[in-house]
Chains A and B, each alone.
Chain A
Amino acid sequence: MATPTDEQIIDELGLRRERARSIYDHPNLIRAASVLCFLALWEVYGRRSDPLLLTYPTAVFWAAIQLIRTGELLRQAAVSLATLGVGFGVSIALGVGLGLLTGRSRVAEAVLDPHLNALYATPQVALTPLLMMWLGLGFAVKVVIIFLFAFFPILINTTSGVKNVSASLVEVGHAYLASERQILFKVVFPAALPFIMAGIRLAVGRALVGMVVAELFTAITGLGAMLTLYGNLFETAKMFVVIVVFGLLGVGLIRATQALETRMARWKETERANR
């Protein structure tokens, strides 16, 4: 007689998979209920408070509709996203580039280390007034501020990722006659990629902070400028609209980088799952 399959044995023993029945199996329902409760309490409390200081969810909702209708919200968001995109793009390019360089070359590291450490240790906000003197209040200054916020996590992670690449893999490259360039792009970079992606994920949040800081300081265009404007006008509901947009932007960007991270470093994910 043939050996019975796992299913046959499970049948024979009269076992079956337990169905999920408890409320703990639906965490998303709990989450949704929690958020609704919070909004309801806020609505009740907010309606009873001074409208100059606090607003309430439905008011924020109608303010949002109004800002979208006039096109103001989307226009300012577009400006903000453009600066964010450029600043973040430059951060990735320079962070990964310099990280590969300092990770591979001890001379380059010794040359750049003092400057990068000094710049990193200085709170970047402190540089903002100076940068405004140099670059004015336009696009350039915002890009530079975003860059200063986002650049370091990418650089630091790339450098340590490159240093973590096992010497034996580099040796395999040498044994197969790879040139320095091939070793960099076919061995070192892919091996460091999970580190680099983690750095990029950290940098996204900081880039967003940089964007808000830059726009609050310059206060001419962008979502941050809207925040300043409606703050001065005591239109609390509209301020909340901007804050909610910032929040959504943050969540969206972090989700997007997480998705990208999983995609780019899939081997690492499955490797982890196997352990």
Chain B
Amino acid sequence: MLEVRQLSKVFFEQNDPSKPGLVALYDVSFSVRKNEFVCLLGPSGCGKTTLIRVIAGLIQADRGEIRVDGKPVTAPGRDRCMVFQQFGLLPWRTVLGNVEFGLEIDGIPREQRREISRRYLELVGLHGFENYYPHQISGGMQQRVGIARALSKEPDILLMDEPFGAVDAQTREQLQEELLKIWSKTDTTVIFVTHSIDESVYLSDRVIVMQSRPGRIKEEVRVELPRPRWEGDVKADPRFAELRARIRESLRG
């Protein structure tokens, strides 16, 4: 359903013509099936954030193309929704107001968007926090708001750019589990950027390992661990350790 074909992206320093361009992505190709959960994993500077931003349509690729259901896309669209690393909440809006933002842009009437927003806040476990401002709640809760805002638009593809990078480890595990639960209830496709090996193995069906300079795909690793993964201790499964070791090796070499 999502196809990335021979994507390349170069950044040029705008103020300093003497500096050479930086190749952020070079000849990146992969595809994602409907309802699949794919992680883009790699060290900082491997272009994984650039890649997801190109997929989101926030920046343009220089070569290659992206197709969603066969149609090329170059701009943000209602089929894809982004969850940002730094949450991207509007600080002057309440929790409810932030979730409503996307629906408001779409021109959905007030009562209706209220109702939809409340439903998604409930889904991410934020019932009762509708009237708080973002700075009054914890980072983990702020990102739940970000997720509710993205889900409220009912996108086909949920793009998540290191969404749990800015929260503490315990909250992170909790959010991972909840994300899996929410994903299992919807038929959303997820593309998830992370630099945590454990996170990528725990969450995804497939890990796309990237490497830097130039940013490109090293290999793809299938994760055939049973689902649901929140029951029992998947991380204690020997296959989990095996995958982790293999991906670590791949990142090193």
- On chain A, the residues within 8 Å of B91 by CB distance are 191, 267-268, 271
Q: B135 in the interface, Cβ–Cβ < 8 Å?
A: yes
B105 touches A190 (CB 8 A): no
A: number of interface residues (CB 8 Å): 22
Chain B contact residues: over half helix, strand or loop, or mixed?
loop
Q: A174 in the interface, Cβ–Cβ < 8 Å?
A: yes
Q: A274 in the interface, Cβ–Cβ < 8 Å?
A: yes
- A220 to B30: give the CA distance in the assembly, Å: 79
- What is the distance, in angstroms, from A270's C-beta to the closest C-beta of chain B? 7
A176 touches B101 (CB 8 A): yes
Identify which of A172, A177, A265, A268 gathers the most chain B CB atoms within 10 Å of its CB: A172
Q: B88 in the interface, Cβ–Cβ < 8 Å?
A: yes
Chain A contact residues: over half helix, strand or loop, or mixed?
helix
- A193 to B90: give the CA distance in the assembly, Å: 13
A274 touches B136 (CB 8 A): yes
Q: Which residue of B lies closest to A265 (CB)?
A: B92
Contact of B90 among A169, A268, A270 (CB under 8 A): A169
Q: B82 in the interface, Cβ–Cβ < 8 Å?
A: yes
- A265 to B133: give the CA distance in the assembly, Å: 12
Place the interface of chain B in its size category. 20 to 34
Q: Which residue of B lies closest to A179 (CB)?
A: B105
Q: How many A-B residue pairs have CB under 8 A?
A: 61
B88 touches A191 (CB 8 A): no
Identify which of B77, B101, B136 gathers the most chain A CB atoms within 10 Å of its CB: B101
Contact of B105 among A168, A182, A191, A270 (CB under 8 A): A182
Q: B245 in the interface, Cβ–Cβ < 8 Å?
A: no
Contact of A186 among B58, B77, B84, B101 (CB under 8 A): B101
- What is the distance, in angstroms, from B154's C-beta to the closest C-beta of chain A? 13
**Which residues of A, 159-215, contact B by the 8 Å Cβ criterion?**
168-169, 171-178, 182, 186-187, 190-191, 193
- What is the distance, in angstroms, from B96's C-beta to the closest C-beta of chain A? 14
5 more CB-based (< 8 A) A-B contacts, given A172-B90, A175-B56, A177-B102: A169-B88, A172-B101, A176-B76, A177-B106, A191-B92
Chain B residues at the A interface, C-beta cutoff of 8 Å:
56, 58, 76-78, 81-82, 84, 86, 88, 90-92, 101-102, 104-106, 133, 135-136, 153
In the A-B complex, the 6 residue pairs with the closest CB atoms: A172-B88, A176-B102, A267-B92, A175-B82, A271-B135, A178-B105
